[in-house]
Amino acid sequence: MAINQDFEFKTLPNGVVIAVKKQKETKQKASDGAQGLSRRRATEVLVLSDKFLYRRAFSTLQLIKSIKPEDLKMGNSIHVITAGNVDQLSYLELMILQQPINYCLISTWCMGEEDVKQIEEWIDQGLIKKMDFYVGEIFPSQYTVGYAMLNRLVERTNCGRVAVFRNHSKIIAGYGDKYPFCVETSANVNTNPRTEQGIITLNGELVDFYKKYFDGIKGFNETKDVNKQKENKQWEEGGMDSLTKND
Q: What is the pLDDT of residues 13-49, one digit of tens each?
A: 555 544 555 555 444 443 344 444 445 655 555 555 5
Burial (CB < 10 A; 0-12, 13-18, 19+), residue 98, is middle
Q: What is the pLDDT of residues 166-190, one digit of tens each?
A: 999 999 999 999 999 999 999 888 7
User: Which residues, including other chains, have CB under 8 Å from residue 115's CB and lie 6 or more apart?
Assistant: 89, 146, 189, 190
**pLDDT mean over 152-156:** 96
**pLDDT mean over 79-96:** 85
What's the pTM value of the predicted model, to 2 decimals? 0.71
HEC string for 216-238: CCCCCCCCCCHHHHHHHHHHHHH
What whole-number distance in Å separates Cα of residue 81 and Cα of residue 63? Answer: 10
